[in-house]
């Protein structure tokens, strides 16, 4: 495989009080949070051994709609409850020694990144009806992060890895089909409301299905 899952994001209300409480009730621990100056967003992240979950929200809709950011459609995605946009993003990570992206991309240079860095965005991901697909600028799995950033990687809650994703999405989006072929995501028929299920592995070998955007576990 030339790409592995790095992280997923879901747009939530500012500061995500309900979603954060749902995840805390499930036993998940917040790993870190940060703002994205110039992009008009902020987040809180939950890291597992191989990948992480990002709750993302708009802090400045006008900034998110500005010329350097507009092609990502983050402004529309952040207001998905009003416009039926997809609130999801899926990021892949290339293994060491690999440099060829799995899908055609364009270079996104948000103001919060150093000037020599960019994010490879899948061409076509400017369509807010589909999830935003992109290559993470990070090169390492959370298990390889510095110890102070790992924050136990959810082990205290009995979780290990993100074992897979099931995305309910309308068909015909070629970059998403390509990621499905690589095994990064399983595709399922679209539903009236956005739905992404994250399959979380536990230390006892069981799997918990976490439904986004509500951040609740499926029975």
What residue ranges do the domains of the chain occupy? 4-217
Q: How far apart are CA 7 and CA 132, in angstroms?
A: 12
Q: In angstroms, how far is CA 59 from the centroid of its own chain?
A: 18
Of 83, 169, 81, 84, the residue nearest 133 (C-alpha): 169
Structure tokens of 175?
């970059």
Q: How far apart are CA 71 and CA 73, in angstroms?
A: 5
- Domain 4-217 has what CATH class? alpha beta
Burial of 22: CB neighbours in 10 Å, binned 0-12, 13-18, 19+: middle
Q: How far apart are CA 219 and CA 203, in angstroms?
A: 19
Which pLDDT score is estimated for 88? 98
- The answer to whether 76 touches 85, Cβ cutoff 8 Å, is yes
Strands 159-168 and 195-202: antiparallel
Q: Which residues of the chain have pLDDT under 50?
A: none
- The answer to whether 28 touches 73, Cβ cutoff 8 Å, is no
């Amino acid at each position: 495989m030339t790409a592995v899952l790095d992280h997923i994001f879901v747009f939530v209300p500012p500061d995500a009080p309900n979603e954060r409480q749902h995840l805390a009730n499930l036993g998940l621990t917040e790993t870190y949070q940060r703002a994205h100056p110039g992009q008009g967003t902020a987040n809180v992240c939950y890291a597992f051994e191989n990948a992480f979950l990002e709750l993302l929200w708009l802090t400045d809709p006008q900034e998110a709609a500005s010329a350097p950011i507009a092609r990502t459609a983050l402004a529309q995605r952040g207001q998905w409850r009003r416009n039926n946009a997809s609130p999801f993003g899926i990021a892949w990570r290339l293994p060491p020694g690999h440099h060829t992206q799995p899908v055609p991309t364009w270079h996104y240079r948000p103001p919060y990144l150093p000037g020599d860095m960019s994010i490879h965005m899948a061409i076509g991901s400017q369509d807010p009806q589909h999830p935003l697909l992109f290559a993470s600028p990070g090169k390492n799995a959370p298990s390889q992060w510095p110890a102070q950033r790992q924050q136990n990687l959810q082990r205290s809650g009995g979780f290990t890895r993100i074992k897979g994703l099931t995305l309910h999405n309308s068909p015909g989006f070629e970059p998403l089909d390509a990621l499905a072929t690589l095994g990064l995501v399983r595709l399922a028929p679209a539903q009236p409301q956005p739905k992404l299920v994250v399959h979380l592995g536990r230390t006892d070998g069981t799997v918990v299905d976490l439904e986004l955007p509500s951040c609740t576990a499926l029975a």
